[in-house]
A and B are shown apart, each in its own frame.
Chain A
C-alpha cells in the first residue's frame, strides 16, 4: 500500500451506533482528502446483537484491510469474541475499552494489544444528550489527525434534520472524546492532503453495482430479497423510476429471472440481483436465456455456502455454479469486479456484453465487496452502452430468421411491435427461424453459433487487471475481492525489490487463453489466491489454461478474508 494508512475497528452492541460513527468517520476522512474502505460484521440477530465496523483510511485509494488493526475501540464487549478472528490485533495495537463495561473477552485479550481506558459511557453522561459513540468518534478523530473544522462540518451536515440541540450535544460529546484521547499512545496520523473531496464518492459495492446497471441501460429489474444482495435492489428501487425504469419485487427467484427474461424479450435491458441460494434456483432459466438468446444480467453477491451457510458473511465459492451450473452445453458470460469501485464498471460492462451478445451474464461480487463502503474518486462515465442488433427491413416474401446462422453468431433480434418480424423465442432446440427442431444438424449449428458469438468477440483489455513488473518471473493470479489484498501484497513485495506481477481476472468466462498466455509470458511460477475451501478458482485455471510449471494455491474459506501478509509470505517462502 503506497501512502500512509491507519486501520481501526469500532465495535459494540447493535444499538451503540458503531455504523453511524464509522460512516461519519469516512465522510470526514473524504473531506480531508483521504480515501477509505469500511467493511462491517454483524451477528445473525434481526435487531440488536453485536456489530463491528472495520475501517482503513489512507492517503491513496484503499482496496483491502491490513494484516492487523492499529486499534480497536469497543463501546461495550457484547459478544465481541464472535468477531475475534476477523479483528487481528498485535502487541503494537491498542485495545481501547470502557472500564465501566467490565473485562474484554479472553479471545481479544489473548492477542496482546495494549489496553487503554476510555470511559465513554461516563463521559457521555457528562454531556446533555451525549452518546458514547460520539465520544469514541472524538477520540478516534484526535488519534488519527482529523481536524476539528472538517468534523464539525460533517456533524452539522448529517445532523441538521435532528435539530440544533442534537448538533450541539454531538459536538460537545465529540470534544470530550478528543480531550480524553490527548494522553493516548500514538497511532499513525495521516497527513492532510489537498482537499479534492468534491470529486470523492462514498459508495458501497452494492450501490456501485446498481449504478453500473443503470449506466449500462438497465431499465427493468425483478428480484427477491436475499442477504447480502438486498441493498443492490434497495438502491435501485427509488432510482429506477427516476430514469424511466421499473423494479418489481417477485414471489421467488424463479419468478425474478423469468420476469427479467420477459422484460428483455420485450426489448428492455433487464437485471436481477441475488446470492448463492437464489442463483441455484435460477440456473434452469439461465439455460433458457442461453437457448432463446435473451440478454439478461444476474448479479450474485456471494456469501458463505453451501445451503444457507453464513448468510451475512463473505466467500468466493459460487464460481463453480456460475461457470458450470447450467445443464447442457450452455455458453454464457461470467464476470467479477475486482474492487468496490469496480462493481460499477464490471456491472455496466456485463450489461453491455449481454446486450451485444444476446446471452446471460452472471456478475459475481461478494458480501465483503458488496456491503463494504469505500471513499473513492468519482467514477467517470464510460461509453459502454450495449445496443442489440435489430433486423433490417426484409424483402417481400422473405421470412425473418430470428436465429440466423451468421458469421459472428449474433443474429439480429426483433422486438415485439415490429411488424413482419414476429417469431417465437424458444428453449426447445430450434432451427434458424425458431421452429422447434430435434434434428442433429440444427442442434449442431445452433450450438456452434451460440458458442461462436462468445469466443469470437473482442473483449479488449478489460478481461483482467494486470499490474506490477512486466518482466517478472513470479505472478499472483486472483479474482474478485481477493484482488484487494493481492494488490497490497504486490506493492509490499515490489517495495522490497522483488519483481512480481498481478493478474486479477475480470472475465471469468469465456476463457481468454491467448491473452492469459501473453500476460504470463516469461513467468515461471504463479501463486493463485482466492477465498474458497476447495480452490475452485485454482482448479478452474488448471482446467482451462496452460499454467507455468510451478503453481501454488493460497485458498481459504470465508468468512476470513485473505490478508496481504499471507500472500507476501507465500511469495517470499518461494525464494
Chain B
C-alpha cells in the first residue's frame, strides 16, 4: 500500500456510484446514502480505503450505490463479513449498512456478538419497522398491533425488539439515534461513529413510504434529544428505556472499552512450526 500522504480533497460526489437505486421515491434510505457520502467526505477518506458491507434488504443495497469497496452478502450476515474484513485488514475503515429485519431478526445473534466483540466497525441501521423488499411484513421492531401485513392479519402480536437497549446490554461502545429527515445530522453521527474506536451503532429512523405510509409523519414526531453524551451505562440504560423512540440527533452512549483487535505479531517462517511434530 502506498504510504505517501494523500493530499486530494474529496467531496460527497466522489463516494457515489453511477448505479441508480431501486428504492421507491421518498424512501428514507436516499438521505442515509447521502449522509454516508457526506460523512466520508468530511473525513476525507480515500474511497479505496473504505469498505461498506451489507446483507439483504432495501437498505442493504447501499454498497453498490457507493464508489468505495463494497460487499453485498447474504441475509443477516453483514456483521460477520465486516468483522472478518476488519480483523484481517485493520487499516481499512469498515461500515456496515442494513435494515431492522436483516440486523435484528435473521442476523440477531451476530448483532449481539458484534456489540460484545467490539471490533472497530460502524453499523448503520435504517429502521422502518417493516420488511420492504418482500412487500411489507412485520419486522422485529414493528409494534404488536400493526395489521398491515397479509402474513399477520391480526397484527404481529408480539412486543418489538428494542435495538438500542439490547446494544447497550451487549456491550456496544457507541450508540446514536437519528432521523433520515435530517441528513446533515445523520452525516455528523456517522462521522462521530467512525472516529470512535470499537463497535458503533447508528440507528436511523428511515421511513418506508410504500408499506408504512403513516411513517411520513415521523419527521414531525421526532425531536432533538435533550441529553448530554454519557459514558455511564446505567444512565444510558435509563435514558433508552424511558424514551418513546423519537428522541433523535444525539449520541446517547459513548463507552471507552478498548476494541477487540487481535494482532498478528510474529513473522517466523512456517517451517519453524515443524518442531511441533519432529521427534
Stretch at the interface among A119-127, A238-246, A447-455, A509-517: A238-246
Report which of B61, B63, B83, B276 forms a contact with A262, defined as CB distance below 8 A: B83
Contact of B80 with A262 in the complex, beta carbons under 8 Å = yes
Contact of B263 with A242 in the complex, beta carbons under 8 Å = no
Contact of B19 with A435 in the complex, beta carbons under 8 Å = yes
* Interfacial residues of chain B within 112-160, with CB under 8 A of chain A in the complex: 112-113
Q: Is the C-beta of B273 less than 8 angstroms from some C-beta in chain A?
A: yes
Contact of B72 with A422 in the complex, beta carbons under 8 Å = no
Contact of B69 with A422 in the complex, beta carbons under 8 Å = yes
Quick one: given A31-B279, A201-B278, A258-B77, are A220 and B87 in contact (CB under 8 Å)?
yes
Chain B interface size, under 10 / 10 to 19 / 20 to 34 / 35 or more: 35 or more
Write out, one digit per residue, whether chain B residues 62-79 have a CB within 8 A of any chain A CB (1) or not (0): 011001111111101101
Chain B residue with Cβ nearest A284: B74
Write out, one digit per residue, whether chain A residues 476-516 have a CB within 8 A of any chain B CB (1) or not (0): 00000000000000000000000000000000000000000
A255–B114 Cα distance when bound, in Å, is 10
Interface of A is mostly: mixed
Q: Is the C-beta of A420 less than 8 angstroms from some C-beta in chain B?
A: yes
Chain B residue contacts of A417, Cβ below 8 A: 1, 48-49, 89, 91-92
Chain A residue with Cβ nearest B49: A417
* Interfacial residues of chain B within 13-52, with CB under 8 A of chain A in the complex: 19, 46-49, 51
Chain A residue contacts of B264, Cβ below 8 A: 219, 240-241, 244-246
Chain A residue contacts of B74, Cβ below 8 A: 258, 284-285, 287-288, 427
Write out, one digit per residue, whether chain A residues 198-226 have a CB within 8 A of any chain B CB (1) or not (0): 10111100010001001100011010000
Chain A residue with Cβ nearest B89: A266
**Closest-CB distance, A221 to chain B (whole angstroms):** 10
Contact of A265 with B46 in the complex, beta carbons under 8 Å = no
Chain B residue with Cβ nearest A421: B48
Contact of A252 with B274 in the complex, beta carbons under 8 Å = no
A261–B78 Cα distance when bound, in Å, is 11
Contact of A248 with B85 in the complex, beta carbons under 8 Å = no
Report which of A375, A378, A416, A428 forms a contact with B92, defined as CB distance below 8 A: A416
A419–B49 Cα distance when bound, in Å, is 8
Quick one: given A251-B110, A435-B64, are A266 and B88 in contact (CB under 8 Å)?
yes
A436–B20 Cα distance when bound, in Å, is 11
Write out, one digit per residue, whether chain A residues 233-271 have a CB within 8 A of any chain B CB (1) or not (0): 001000111111111101110111011111111111010
Contact of A261 with B92 in the complex, beta carbons under 8 Å = no
Chain A interface size, under 10 / 10 to 19 / 20 to 34 / 35 or more: 35 or more
Q: Is the C-beta of B238 less than 8 angstroms from some C-beta in chain A?
A: no
Contact of B89 with A419 in the complex, beta carbons under 8 Å = no
Contact of B81 with A246 in the complex, beta carbons under 8 Å = no
Contact of B82 with A248 in the complex, beta carbons under 8 Å = no
A207–B262 Cα distance when bound, in Å, is 22
Chain A residue contacts of B63, Cβ below 8 A: 424
Q: Is the C-beta of B53 less than 8 angstroms from some C-beta in chain A?
A: yes
Contact of B64 with A426 in the complex, beta carbons under 8 Å = yes
Chain B residue contacts of A264, Cβ below 8 A: 84, 88
Contact of A211 with B273 in the complex, beta carbons under 8 Å = yes
A425–B263 Cα distance when bound, in Å, is 26
Q: Is the C-beta of B266 less than 8 angstroms from some C-beta in chain A?
A: yes
Q: Is the C-beta of B272 less than 8 angstroms from some C-beta in chain A?
A: yes
Contact of A220 with B64 in the complex, beta carbons under 8 Å = no
Contact of B92 with A222 in the complex, beta carbons under 8 Å = no
Chain B residue with Cβ nearest A287: B74
A381–B266 Cα distance when bound, in Å, is 20
Chain A residue contacts of B85, Cβ below 8 A: 262-263, 265-266, 416
A422–B52 Cα distance when bound, in Å, is 11
Chain B residue contacts of A201, Cβ below 8 A: 274, 277-279
* Interfacial residues of chain B within 210-238, with CB under 8 A of chain A in the complex: none
**Closest-CB distance, A24 to chain B (whole angstroms):** 12
* Interfacial residues of chain A within 408-438, with CB under 8 A of chain B in the complex: 416-428, 434-436
A284–B73 Cα distance when bound, in Å, is 10
B interface vs A, CB < 8 Å?
1, 19, 46-49, 51, 53, 61, 63-64, 67-74, 76-77, 79-89, 91-92, 109-110, 112-113, 262-274, 276-279
What are 5 A-B residue pairs whose CB atoms fall within 8 Å in the complex?
A220-B88, A246-B87, A246-B263, A262-B81, A427-B74
Nearest 3 pairs between A and B by C-beta?
A262-B84, A424-B70, A259-B84
